[in-house]
Amino acid sequence: MIIVLQKEATEKHLQDIIDRIRRCGLEPHVIVGVARTVIGLVGDKQGLEPQVFEGLPGVEKAVPIMAPYKLASRDAKAEDTMIEVGSAVIGGSEPVYMAGPCAVESWEQILDTAHAVKEAGASILRGGAFKPRTSPYSFQGLGEKGLQYLVEAGRAAGMPTVSEVVNPSDVELVSQYVDILQVGARNMQNFALLRQVGQTRKPVLLKRGLSATVEEWLMAAEYVMAEGNYQVILCERGIRTFETATRNTLDVGAIALVRQLSHLPVVADPSHATGRSDLVVPAGCAAVAAGAQGLLVEVHPNPQRALSDGSQSLTPEQFKQMMGAVTQIAKSVNPEPARYWWNRNAV
């Protein structure tokens, strides 16, 4: 259920409503939008009718939300959520591009990459310091030293940073360094980790799980938001299907669907979706055309010598060419959800 406040509702009205919600054994989540302020109710609402709140001063209406993801739903917030990270605005009118190596390998490698992707048009530097790999014998990242290199390179190039956090116990450490906390596909339903990043006030890049449904993906976002952190960025990175020609299958339709179901920003990772550098550009273009509000792209100065995911990494020159292509695609579509051709209200 959400409670929609009247435009003239005062701060006292808001506090009185919050007090009433808590007396009902529920947790209030205040979501301030451009046109209205709503309060999301989290907890066991069985037997609770909207009329309990509709008579309170300052309340316009109380509306039950049928979707299990209450706070992430478009019913809770009609307009897109925009998340500011440095000078970048994720979820705004222009796509935001995050680029860098799968793993930080050395100071020289991450510094060279940072300057190259910034010059090509990227706004955020990505790089892994803690690498959960399929094989325990594969390169696992440089740990805290990798975070230090990443942040220093980001500062040198004038870019905020994003890196994955794997364990709940590492959230505090990683938060001290990077601007965005990434929750990887394998950890999408690591609920202890989701709660921990939800207790920070850092933006969270939440990747879709390898075999997760759209609802499961949004429910994972709900775990983060239920802890009070509403800065969640959804990342479609391909799902596991019967197809073996690519690493995963990029679910372009899910990008368009989630833009309708949720107000949270949606970006795509064409690198992990395809696993092939020659498919990253067309997959990225398709994602932007479907409504992705940004891309997460792996770029390495020498992919043949990369310690992690070299086969799907672009060279700086290839990334520069990609930026030219996706920029043209972005200009050809209107990023406002109310005008997208696939919007449910437009047909």
pLDDT in tens, 174-184: 999 999 999 99
Count Cβ neighbours within 10 Å for each residue of 243-269 and write b for 16 or more, e otherwise: eeebbbebbbebbbbbbebbbbbbbbb
Question: Can you give the pLDDT at residue 114?
Answer: 98
Please give the CATH topology (third level) of the domain spanning 2-63: Alpha-Beta Plaits (3.30.70)
Angstrom distance (rounded) from CA 13 to CA 8: 10
Question: Can you give the pLDDT at residue 344?
Answer: 39
Q: Dihedral sign, CA of 321, 323, 326, 327?
A: negative
Structure tokens of 43? 């907890």
**Are 150 and 110 in contact, with CB atoms under 8 Å apart?**
yes
**Are 271 and 297 in contact, with CB atoms under 8 Å apart?**
yes
205: left (phi over 0), alpha (psi -120 to 50) or beta: beta
Task: Name residue 163's beta-bridge partners.
Answer: 181
**Are 159 and 86 in contact, with CB atoms under 8 Å apart?**
yes
Give the pLDDT confidence of 2-37 residue by residue, as tens digits: 899 988 899 999 999 999 999 988 889 998 876 778
Question: Can you give the pLDDT at residue 346?
Answer: 38
Choose among 106, 143, 108, 96: nearest CA to 297: 96
- Ranges of the chain with pLDDT below 50: 335, 337-347
Question: Can you give the pLDDT at residue 137?
Answer: 64
Please give the CATH topology (third level) of the domain spanning 83-346: TIM Barrel (3.20.20)
Question: Can you give the pLDDT at residue 179?
Answer: 98
Question: Can you give the pLDDT at residue 314?
Answer: 98
Question: Residue ranges of the domains in the chain?
Answer: 2-63, 83-346
Residues 6+ apart with CB under 8 A from 343: 260, 337
Question: Can you give the pLDDT at residue 36?
Answer: 78
Spacing of C-alpha 343 from chain mean position: 21
What's the whole-model pTM score? 0.89
